[in-house]
Amino acid sequence: MPINDTSSKLLAHNGLNSISTSSGDTFRIQDDHNLSLNTRSSFYQQNDATATATSAGNYNSTTGYGLVNAGAAVAKSAGKNPFADVPNVGGNNWGADLINAPEAWANGYTGQGVVVAVIDTGVDYNHEDLKNNIWTNTKEIAGNGIDDDGNGYVDDIYGWNFDSNNNNISDDNGHGTHVSGTIAGENNGYGVTGIAYNAKIMPIKALNESGSGSYSAIANGIYYAVDNGANVINLSLGGSYYSNALKSAVEYASSKGVTVVMAAGNDGDSSPDYPARYANKSGIAVGAVDQNNKIADFSNRAGENQLAYVTAPGVKIYSSLPGNQYGAYSGTSMAAPHVAGVVALMLSANRSLTDAQIRQIITETAGNDPQAATSSLNANSIVNQAIAQMPSNNLSSSTYSFNTNSLSDRNTENSSFHAISTLDNKGVLINSDIQSQFRYYDSTLSIKDNNSINEDDNQDNQNNNNADFGKMLNQLQRRLDEYRRFFNSL
């Protein structure tokens, strides 16, 4: 992700920025924000260009169907008249207020009985705001070394680690714990209150400590979640290339009545990355807005091809971090769990809803603010993103990789982070995770996996491949230009 920070003491944690604003996630988790400062980093140069959306009905190419509306979606799911307005919660829970979650809570819908799988870097299941809302596999006996429930996974009490193929789902990055707090942090008077604060989190680790992982690990995580009782799946991750295996997994979830909520990506591009682009048929794609419901400069837009795309709060989102810590991150990684929480609220009102019905209700009740369709775009003039988007000569066979660093920028408080390197005498900060991001882009150069593409996808894929290649060249040229301008200014 791009790192935007003016502080000469900027800290980074596994490639994600910490302390005051940030955005990071695995499409290249974008670091778009500062550490405890509101100023832009010298890596982040603003562009005066303004993007005007093209519209089709209630859908436009920038914000899709607009800001998700929890109160309206839950009321419609329950077959009730629109809920009356209630006072805002305020404070760090402004995101819940913006999407009208308190209206659903006031009517008794808090996510009770719903399981949300978080496929990410793991989850700190002992966190004070999460420990009472962690899913457990009641059919498994802990520590006996036996696959008691016969699901193929030994001692998967709290979920499974598809990155290391074991039952250790601890979060060694922080990203997954932050996402989980937004979904189901307890309503206990401190910390963070999740959008569906009585839902259960099913931790599934598919990304390593640097926020990277393979498409196959993520796909396997989806199958595990569906087959073990998840009702909603959150994917705050993504990549630039099509994967039939991942697409099939998302469609499998949909066929079983499980909705997959997918972050759009943090490149500031005109359309989402994968898997969010699969929301043309299954699941929901989510872009990020700020506290004023303005599309975030880093957020990938909805695009011309109509998707089930909505927006949600994704700038300076306060949530849980490992070790009973809290911090504010930014990114579409932070927006997606807001929508996953809304889906959980809907299911707590009506458990019979299918993925198709949820997609319809979410998009029909979302609202497009006319002002949100026009936003100033900020060019991502960060050295690490320019480098990260250059493919290397080492191609990995048929494995795709995700990197959470492009989905969320981090701002963490009361946490220790590995320092990022600086350029001598200039106070310029460079993300220490560049190398892992570079490996990620190496591995994504293989555009297809070994699975055949369904015939109904042939035309779409040809168009997407052409568009993606052109998009890659345009992005590379743009970032090289920004990179050159940056060093010329030193």
Active site residue 120: yes
Which residue is catalytic, options 120, 155, 273, 468?
A: 120
The SS3 of residue 281 is: coil
Burial class of 7 by CB neighbour count within 10 A (0 to 12, 13 to 18, 19+): middle
Per-residue pLDDT at 13 exceeds 60? no
Of 50-54, 292-296, 333-337, the poorest mean pLDDT is in 50-54
- Tell me, what's the pLDDT at 368? 75
- Tell me, what's the pLDDT at 471? 53
Active site residue 333: yes
- Residue-wise pLDDT for 321-366, tens only, equals 999 999 999 999 999 999 999 999 999 999 999 999 999 999 999 9
Q: In the CATH scheme, what architecture does the domain 1-490 have?
A: 3-Layer(aba) Sandwich (3.40)
Mean pLDDT throughout 234-249?
Answer: 96
Per-residue pLDDT at 260 exceeds 60? yes
Which residue is catalytic, options 61, 333, 348, 432?
A: 333
Per-residue pLDDT at 317 exceeds 60? yes
- The rounded distance, in Å, linking the Cα atoms of 102 and 416 is 33
| Average pLDDT score over the chain | 74
- Tell me, what's the pLDDT at 57? 60
Mean pLDDT throughout 223-246?
Answer: 96
Per-residue pLDDT at 200 exceeds 90? yes
Give backbone dihedrals phi and psi of 333, rounded to 5 degrees, phi first: -60, -30
- Tell me, what's the pLDDT at 15? 27
CA-based radius of gyration for the chain = 20
Which residue is catalytic, options 33, 175, 178, 338?
A: 175
Give residues with Cβ within 8 angstroms of 241, minimum separation 6. 274, 400, 444, 446, 447, 468
Domain ranges of the chain: 1-490
- Residue-wise pLDDT for 117-159, tens only, equals 999 999 999 999 999 999 999 999 999 999 999 999 999 999 9
- Residue-wise pLDDT for 412-454, tens only, equals 333 222 221 222 222 222 222 322 222 222 222 222 233 333 3
Active site residue 240: no
- Residue-wise pLDDT for 74-127, tens only, equals 999 999 999 999 999 999 999 999 999 999 999 999 999 999 999 999 999 999
